[in-house]
A and B are shown apart, each in its own frame.
Chain A
Amino acid sequence: MTDTTLRNMQEWMQNALTQPHLVQKEEVAARLTSSNRLSGSQRLAIYQRSYISRLCMCLAEQFPASREALGEELFDNFARVFLARDPSDSYTLYELGRRFPAFLEETQPDGVDPDSQPETWVNFMIDLATYERALFVLFDAPGHEGNLWPTSDTPDEDLVLQPCFNLGAYRFPVANYYHNVLEKSGSGLPPLAESYVAITRYDYFTSSIPITGPHYKFLQAMQETQSVDASLGQLATSIGVPKENLQETWVTHIRDRWIANHFFVDRNTLSKE
């Protein structure tokens, strides 16, 4: 006897969408009616096909460069496995790709490019997906638009990282790759080369700014302390350079450029948001 309570029906139908290979024809017939053109199974199949295709299309929108790198067919295969393992648990599609980079890391899709070392290719895909997710999140995160931005006159002690900021360390130049894909200017596997990227947002545009390893350490310290002075001190200790030297480099080469690139906001304007 088929349990026809609403709860049971919903659990059954959802399982039929996410695990279509487990559906039994007899159960479909017991639950769904045929139409004058289609059987219950054929009608269910419309939902099954659309479920996976719909979400694959959404993932493709969120990871366009990863899809370019993997190729459409392979990307869709990964997307299907990912969605079967990690179905959406949020009311918003914006969260659909949240776990996709971690999925690639855990499943290690090796051997997708026979011309490259499998491990190299896997690491590239993981880093690229991580970068794409960071960009996607920053596009819609709360930012500083509508408020005053600091100038070169803003004292160091008032500078803090802006709310819409991401710091990334990658094994490949993924930001370059991503923008090359968008500009359709070549998308071969880039060489193995560490890259550090700060992503900022201004006027609802994200900018990916290449930075150096020491810059990355400094900005990591800024994320932790939100203090320029303390971060310079941490960096000095970390790389074994006198703090006074770093202070000079900060003032002469970095400070104004990063203010112009909207790395920082004035903590006094932030407190009013």
Chain B
Amino acid sequence: MPDAAKVASQVSALPKLGLGVGLRNEHFNHILSEKPDVDWFEAISENFMDSGGRPGWIIRQIAEHYPVVLHGVSMSIGSTDPINETYLQRLKTLADDVQARWVSDHLCWTGVQSVNSHDLLPLPLNQETLDHVIARVHYVQEVLKRPLILENPSTYASFQNSDIPEPEFLRALSDATGSGLLLDVNNVYVSCFNDGSNPLDYLESIPFDRVVQMHLAGHTHCGSYLLDTHDQPVTRAVWELFRLAWQRSNGASTLLEWDGDVPDFQSLHQEVLKARDFMQGELDTTLVTQEQPVQKHTNVSNPVDFMVPTIRNHSRLGT
């Protein structure tokens, strides 16, 4: 079993990358041709790890110019199915190829009995789950030969047999394995709203010395619950939460996720650059989105359709 203290020291040595943007299909051409002044990119691991085509070529081009971090959605670290060895090996190969600064995924499970729901499903947070996830994180870190960084998911339901608050669960997991944390501030806000708890209390319990990265994203207010839709600007409440978190994070690398109705690259980049003003406490709050409940929506939580490549622009009828 790897030494948790050794892994923890590796986590502490991870670089502070600044303000990054999620790598999305819509922006591939712009990034390659314009080489925009972005600190770093986060790529969805599953979009690239099996690619023999354009996505695989793109990420290798981008990795030559920018630091790249890999962010996964299918490791299913909390599942009671065996860990998918093929997946892990391909993830390792990709991480080595693009010199990923780190590899992250979510504290969740995506399926059992060989089914993948392609959702980030919630775990009952108790000692049984903690022991189970600790063993699997140890194993993953051993195979990947690098620390695993785990993100707090957005959740919509809680279990009767949960008895460990999520920040404490993450702290215990990190203590036992040395793994790092990806603190998604929007997810904190969404989960706390949906559970009727206080996001400030959540932040109070987070082990900020383990936070390597933070995520920002927009959500949809559906009246009685919030959906983590990644399809609109960050709301004022989430920016305020980010300001508090960033001040305690010792400069964690920060990234904006935007997966639905993706704007042009410049608009996306401008949105994440607002973080600079929040870091310095100078943001003009009239520039940020005020949250309004929507009457009707067709959005989904944790959208994944953006991960399917749009091949229509790369197909032609020959003669």
Seen from chain A, the residues whose Cβ lies within 8 Å of a Cβ on chain B are: 4-7, 9-11, 13-14, 17-18, 30-33, 35-38, 40, 42-44, 46-47, 49-51, 53-55, 57-58, 60-62, 64, 87-94, 96, 135-136, 138-143, 145-146, 164, 175-176, 178-179, 182, 200-201, 204-210, 261
Residue B157 CB within 8 A of the other chain: yes
Q: Least Cβ distance of B108 to chain A in Å? A: 11
**Interface contact B314-A179, CB-CB below 8 Å:** no
| CB interface residues, B 268-319, toward A, < 8 Å | 298, 300-305, 307-312, 314-319
25 A–B contacts, CB within 8 A, in A order:
A4-B124, A6-B129, A10-B109, A17-B119, A32-B160, A35-B196, A46-B157, A46-B227, A57-B304, A58-B304, A58-B308, A88-B116, A92-B49, A93-B304, A93-B307, A93-B308, A135-B315, A136-B311, A139-B311, A140-B54, A140-B309, A179-B317, A206-B314, A206-B315, A208-B315
Chain A residues near B311 (CB-CB < 8 A)? 135-136, 139, 206
Contact of B113 among A14, A176, A200 (CB under 8 A): A14
Chain B residues near A11 (CB-CB < 8 A)? 112-113
Alpha-carbon distance A88/B161, docked complex (angstroms): 28
**Interface contact B159-A32, CB-CB below 8 Å:** yes
Q: Least Cβ distance of A173 to chain B in Å? A: 10
| CB interface residues, B 100-144, toward A, < 8 Å | 109-119, 121, 123-124, 128-129, 132
Residue B46 CB within 8 A of the other chain: yes
Alpha-carbon distance A73/B243, docked complex (angstroms): 44
- Identify which of A90, A135, A138, A176 gathers the most chain B CB atoms within 10 Å of its CB: A90
Interface residues of chain A: helix, strand, loop or mixed (majority): helix
Chain A residues near B319 (CB-CB < 8 A)? 209-210
**Interface contact A14-B117, CB-CB below 8 Å:** yes
**Interface contact B53-A88, CB-CB below 8 Å:** no
| CB interface residues, B 64-90, toward A, < 8 Å | 74, 76, 78-80, 84, 87
**Interface contact A9-B121, CB-CB below 8 Å:** no
Closest 10 CB pairs of A and B: A142-B52, A91-B74, A140-B53, A204-B54, A57-B305, A43-B157, A36-B196, A61-B308, A207-B318, A209-B318
Given contacts A6-B124, A32-B160, contact A139 B314 (CB under 8 A): yes
Given contacts A14-B111, A182-B312, A205-B316, contact A91 B157 (CB under 8 A): no
Contact of A182 among B196, B227, B301, B315 (CB under 8 A): B315
**Interface contact A140-B55, CB-CB below 8 Å:** yes
Q: Least Cβ distance of A206 to chain B in Å? A: 5
Chain B residues near A205 (CB-CB < 8 A)? 314-316
Q: Least Cβ distance of B72 to chain A in Å? A: 9
Given contacts A38-B225, A54-B303, A261-B318, contact A92 B46 (CB under 8 A): yes
Q: Least Cβ distance of A44 to chain B in Å? A: 6
Chain A residues near B87 (CB-CB < 8 A)? 91
Other than the given A91-B76, A93-B308, 18 more pairs (CB < 8 A) read: A11-B112, A47-B157, A50-B302, A51-B117, A57-B300, A60-B305, A64-B312, A88-B111, A88-B117, A92-B50, A139-B53, A175-B317, A179-B316, A182-B312, A205-B315, A205-B316, A206-B314, A207-B315
Alpha-carbon distance A18/B53, docked complex (angstroms): 32
Q: Which residue of B lies closest to A54 (CB)?
A: B300
Alpha-carbon distance A11/B119, docked complex (angstroms): 14
The digit string for B146-164, where 1 denotes a CB below 8 A from any CB of A, is: 0000000000111111100
Residue B224 CB within 8 A of the other chain: yes
Chain A residues near B304 (CB-CB < 8 A)? 54, 57-58, 93
Chain A residues near B123 (CB-CB < 8 A)? 6
Alpha-carbon distance A31/B162, docked complex (angstroms): 10
Alpha-carbon distance A208/B312, docked complex (angstroms): 12
